[in-house]
Structure 1
């Protein structure tokens, strides 16, 4: 039996499928508590595990800053710029392999890929503790960079695939608070493990690498067992929940078809021509020069105040704790009001003020206060700039390209920070801090440019200046992505 109208013909199967879809839609759309339950189910499965894994990633990356104050340089006979080179060499494979890694995670189960990466860099950190000379430490740092390269962009890619645009920044902030958790733990573990100096015939810096590398190897098992896949291939939601959630995401992203889309080389090259993708790289570079400088060199700067190695390590912890709390609160506020640009500008300005206090003042306590402003200002910006750029594009290919390209550019900031803070510039470190301020000024200009352009383009669409694109076929309109006249950029 069929039902005919003037334009369409439906069979019983199509009518039944449509009725089921309407019923599922009504079930969740008319019950916000039930919809919130599904969203929380996803949050608890995805965010805490990624936060834990990336905490270990960041901890293993910056723990060399804590190791440096526990006889690392003297034991390995390092002089001059040797320490800076060891810090720098990590970023070379990290930068080169981030975009290729997003190709891999897009094609295999994320839990297999992330578990493999975690095991690889955990073993590399552990082996660094056995280094007998600078060459051994350099080799370990290269392998840490190789394995860690896929972790950060892959996690951002996965998070960006699971949430709607107005929900994204707060989740990214919760994920990136792992930087601050790692900063707190790094100071505490650096002080505690470093105090094992001499135990078993190993220096304090070796114990830092042994214990933290071993923790990461254990965490690899958790990733292998529990990390979820992309929404289209997920299994922890019921069929009804999954069907509803995919339709919910599709309304936010016209490129979703119900099947996981694969990144292509041609699509990536096309995405790299988009100014919004390029802007993501400039913004994250502007953030990371300061973020890495604070993470790696803050303990060394604090020792120039006349404070002991133990005190310098311990006092990095409260700075990061405050930064983490403030960054999450600002991210929640940003998602609530659906605004990004004004918070980015505020974060850059606060951080610049803090850096000026550290550079220009001579009183140790006041300079330490400057670290608070510098840290929470820049860590406000970190989730915002990546999340904002992900908000401005549609589709797996562009989102995967944005996250990988932005993070790759950010690691150039790590290289810059590694060479602009030589110990000879102590105690004020004017060249290094001035470099951080200069890049944040670049960030301010870039934020203002994107904010103005997106506001202007939204006005054009509100005025109907892009409605001629509606004359394209449905298939061609789907390919428009964020160029579709119904799409509005986040401001």
Structure 2
């Protein structure tokens, strides 16, 4: 094979092989680090489920709904701060923003291991929610700013594998760290918090130095590579604009039904996703398995869901379709939930596989699908933050509808998850049908009158421009 020379700073990139190399350079610079940081976010959020199996409630004299309240309280500051966080993320260097919040929640998790009462643990969970609020919307905002519309699902699927990695190793870490129960006089749940929190603090240093900026300010690309990247982004999104988020632009974005739909879809996803993450070890324990086995067997379903979600993401980007995969994922997840609710034994365990695979197919799809429908960076930032905000209500709901008294089948909680997924199916069908109709109208020339506007006015149309096509 002939040697391909890297372009100099003055040259344009025209060779497709060289272009692919630049895109891979971007992939390796962005996705693995953000994936790792988000994995820690999820791990430090759901390790409460594993800690519960290692004398947490006994040591802190918790009873009744105390555990559910501890799980729930995390989401209150998270929900309040998620949308404002992207407002600041848009103005502060991403590496500094993420470095600070990662260190904040890492220290909080570590010191939560020293809690001596229910109230102390409750305060710790509040501060974890405060610091973690900016991570998910910030990552989604940053990733969506680097890729073309039909490259997003593949990257987001790889990013969301962090959830599956966290779900997989959470059980393994819960078993391993919890087995230190009694070491140096500390219960197993304390060791889970100590060690996982310390790892997060180390990761904060990586975030400070290596989280990349937005493409316009990138420093790891040559001028020729940066020019090529910005040109391809502009050609993909007619009317694309990169602007600062303002309160008015956020408020205007929230009037867009597509932005509101993103929230409904992600709420439908997160209600089940959080239920699986936080309560799966507890449900597995109702099979008659001991704590160690329940932790270990919570890992395989998450491993399977991670592999399938990436494969579906690649397929979705390749054929440039989203709706059919969203509906398929919701359907598979609901089938799994029914198996969990009404069956026993190995078939019930199979239901956990179906529920996890189905819902984690939809998670990256619904975020990318809605981000595909807008062109301005302000609206894209609003979509990712608003979807994430409503999604966290799913965490509150799942925390409330799985009380211990409903075991072993947990029918009310599972049926609640099914109900929200039905709402997600309705929202996905509505989005699919409406956007398909609008694309047909543009193909038929029904929006060509907008071409009579001045060039300046056309540049302000964004996704309303007659050349823009929605992703269905």
Does the TM-score normalized on the shorter chain lie above 0.5? yes
Contact 2:95 2:209 in 1 (8 A): yes
Query: Which structure has the larger Rg?
Result: 1
Instruction: Tell me which residue corresponds to 1:440.
Output: 421
Instruction: Tell me which residue corresponds to 1:274.
Output: 256
Contact 1:28 1:34 in 2 (8 A): no
Within-5 A mapping of 1:315-354: 315-354=297-336
Q: Tell me, what secondary structure is at the counterpart of 1:378?
A: helix
Within-5 A mapping of 1:123-202: 123-202=107-186
The correspondence for 1:295, drawn from 277, 297, 301, is 277
Instruction: Tell me which residue corresponds to 1:76.
Output: 60
Within-5 A mapping of 1:72-471: 72-256=56-240, 260-362=242-344, 364-471=345-452
The correspondence for 1:36, drawn from 20, 31, 42, is 20
Structure 1 residues 466, 26: closer, same or farther in 2, change over 3 A? farther
What is the CA deviation profile of residues 306-344 of structure 1, one whole-angstrom value per residue up to 9, with x for unaligned ones?
A: 100000000011110000000000000000000000000
What is the CA deviation profile of residues 185-239 of structure 1, one whole-angstrom value per residue up to 9, with x for unaligned ones?
A: 1000000000000111110000000000000000000011111100011110001
Contact 1:76 1:132 in 2 (8 A): yes
Q: Tell me, what secondary structure is at the counterpart of 1:162?
A: coil
Q: Tell me, what secondary structure is at the counterpart of 1:69?
A: helix
Separation of aligned partners in 2, 1:446 and 1:99: 21
Mean CA deviation greater in 143-152 or 26-35:
26-35
Q: Give every structure 1 segment of 4 or more consecutive aligned residues whose post-TM-superposition deviation is greater than 3 Å.
A: 23-30, 254-257
What is the CA deviation profile of residues 226-267 of structure 1, one whole-angstrom value per residue up to 9, with x for unaligned ones?
A: 11100011110001111111111111223446xx52101100
Mean CA deviation greater in 30-39 or 129-138:
30-39
**How many aligned positions are there?**
466
Separation of aligned partners in 2, 1:436 and 1:463: 41
Instruction: Tell me which residue corresponds to 1:482.
Output: 463
TM-score calculated relative to the size of structure 1 = 0.93
Structure 1 residues 430, 267: closer, same or farther in 2, change over 3 A? same
Per-residue deviation at 1:475? 1.2
Per-residue deviation at 1:49? 0.2
The RMSD of aligned alpha carbons is 1.4
Contact 1:28 1:35 in 2 (8 A): no
What is the CA deviation profile of residues 345-403 of structure 1, one whole-angstrom value per residue up to 9, with x for unaligned ones?
A: 000000000000000012x2211111000000000000000100000111111000000
Q: Tell me, what secondary structure is at the counterpart of 1:68?
A: helix
Structure 1 residues 182, 159: closer, same or farther in 2, change over 3 A? same
Contact 2:109 2:124 in 1 (8 A): yes
Q: Tell me, what secondary structure is at the counterpart of 2:19?
A: helix
Structure 1 residues 439, 147: closer, same or farther in 2, change over 3 A? same
Per-residue deviation at 1:30? 4.0
Separation of aligned partners in 2, 1:25 and 1:422: 61
Unmatched tracts of structure 2, length 5 or more: 1-6
Q: Does 1:66 align with 2:53?
A: no
Separation of aligned partners in 2, 1:36 and 1:152: 27
Per-residue deviation at 1:478? 1.1
Contact 2:305 2:360 in 1 (8 A): yes
Q: Tell me, what secondary structure is at the counterpart of 1:421?
A: coil
Q: Tell me, what secondary structure is at the counterpart of 2:95?
A: helix
Separation of aligned partners in 2, 1:472 and 1:27: 36
Contact 2:240 2:462 in 1 (8 A): no
Q: Tell me, what secondary structure is at the counterpart of 1:306?
A: coil
Per-residue deviation at 1:104? 1.0
Instruction: Tell me which residue corresponds to 2:3.
Output: none
Separation of aligned partners in 2, 1:390 and 1:29: 27
Contact 2:29 2:212 in 1 (8 A): yes
Unmatched tracts of structure 1, length 5 or more: 1-22
Instruction: Tell me which residue corresponds to 1:49.
Output: 33
